[in-house]
Amino acid sequence: MKIKEVKTWAVENPPPHFGGPFWVFVKLTTDNGISGYGEAYGVPFSPSRVRSLIEDVAERHVIGQSPFQIETMWRVIYSSGFGQHPEFTMGGIISALEIACWDIVGKAVGQPVYNLLGGMVSDKLRSYTYLYPESGVGSTPDNAATNARRSVHNDPDIAPKRAEYYVNLGFTAIGYDPVMPMGSFDPRQISLERLDNAELVTKNLRDAVGSKADLLVKTHGEMTTSSAIRLAKRLEKYDPLWFEEPVPPENKNEMARVAHSTSIPVATGERLVTKYDFAELLNKQAASILQPALARVGGILEAKKIAGMAEAHYAQMAPHLYAGPIEAAANIQLATCSPNFLIQESIGMFDGFYAEILKKPIQWQDGYIIPPTESGIGYELDEAVADAHPYTEEKVFPPMEQTPYVAELEGR
């Protein structure tokens, strides 16, 4: 069995764009007619160019090869052009092609991927959601730069009401960023005004949900080390489950300083690529909760290796998801077979367009994802829906503030 064809899509995710404004998918098809789907997340180029890059790499290194030769394919692509260094572009491309190969392999042998990586450990997966406003405006990293000062995340009155809404749906954990926006000139020193507000939001959230839900502070690398430590000390009494990306991931020594200065577990990983990035993180004791994005980190097997390293350090896995449902499918396969799985990020209840673009939607029930029993990654892209929703803009996701963020303007 050899891989014969490659096809890609850039699909528009209609408003309110939860999970991003577009998703990039790939399909590989073998000479005996088995197809597998993959997804690339966070490649920092316009979607049309990302599609071309995937097709280029597939034609050079995947077409004509066996889908079972995943290790060989991975090493050849990772090393091409004398690379052998973690970076977003090749990370996303490898991930998309690797996930598609696993989907083919699972279908070829009639097993879900998790059965090929050690078997089911968890028969249901605890999940969490971002706080989304009722209107879908000003909610998440999609529009954090432009809507930061009117986001549900940093509104001390609206945030607890939305948290109560999600707890009533069955969620037992809520993610929020009380110090948005994300900016090109981060990290920055957070003003006293914003520190006060972040503490008030967290207090009100804890008062609203009590012990029914964990609070997940997701700060997207926006703060300096000293600012992150100051915020952590304020928030410790509200017992968050984690403090995510308190500083940018580029300096793991500084992230370790934050981790060693607070009782709140530090989580990170959505902007890390390959086992090599995560090995450094673990060696420096910079985080105890790892959040690889499987459509960026290098794919399913690479994430399984990271989970193994994490297990030896008593670190837990919480796969990141702010992408499309094929990355979600890969995350679910990893989570199901990983003994140190903690919680899976979800896009609400995986409903709306997230469900429409799959032939069978992801099953979510009472705060948990139910792993699929179908072979491969468990879900099929509805190609007719993908074809009907092409993304034609040339934007790069997510947007970042492109001018220095002035502290004096915070809260105004």
**Residue numbers annotated as active site:** 220, 320
| Whole-structure pTM value | 0.95
For residue 177, the model assigns a pLDDT of 97
* Domain-embedded: residue 332: yes
- Amino acid 400: pLDDT: 81
**Based on the domain organization, do 89 and 134 belong to the same domain?**
no
DSSP type of residue 384: H
Residues 28 and 77 both lie in one domain: yes
203 and 332, same domain (yes or no): yes
- 289 and 190: one domain? yes
DSSP codes, 286-344: --SEE---TTTTT-HHHHHHHHHHHHHTT-EE-----S-HHHHHHHHHHHHT-TTB--E
In a domain, 358, yes or no: yes
User: How far apart are alpha carbons 146 and 232 in whole angstroms?
Assistant: 26
Which pLDDT value is given to residue 390? 98
Give the max Cα distance, the chain: 63
Beta bridge partners of 242: 216
Domain that holds residue 239: 116-376
Q: 136 or 94: which carries more pLDDT confidence?
A: 94
**Tokens linked to 161:** 């009401």
Number of domains in the chain: 2
Q: pLDDT tens digit string along 70-107?
A: 999 999 999 999 999 999 999 999 999 999 999 999 99
From the list 24, 7, 30, 20, the residue with the least C-alpha distance to 376 is: 30
Residue 150 is predicted with a pLDDT of 54
Q: Name the token pair of 341.
A: 């799985």
Same-domain check for residues 214 and 87: no
Domain membership of residue 388 (yes or no) is no
CATH number, domain containing residue 79: 3.30.390.10
Same domain, yes or no: 259 and 356:
yes
Residue 205 lies in a domain: yes
Q: Answer for the pair 107, 370: CB distance below 8 angstroms, yes or no.
A: no
Instruction: Answer yes or no: do 104 and 132 share one domain.
Output: no
What dihedral angle (degrees, nearest 10) is formed by the CA atoms of 108, 114, 118, 122?
-150
Q: Is residue 10 part of a domain?
A: yes
Tokens 């673009």 sit on residue: 357
Residue 393 lies in a domain: no
Q: How far apart are CA 371 and CA 332, in angstroms?
A: 7
Pairing of strands 364-365, 3-12: unpaired
pLDDT digits (tens, 9 = 90+) for 142-170: 443 334 445 899 999 999 999 999 999 99
- The CATH number that applies at residue 310 is 3.20.20.120
The pLDDT score that the predictor gives to residue 407 is 54
Looking at the structure, do residues 185 and 302 belong to the same domain, yes or no?
yes
Residues 95, 158 within the same domain: no
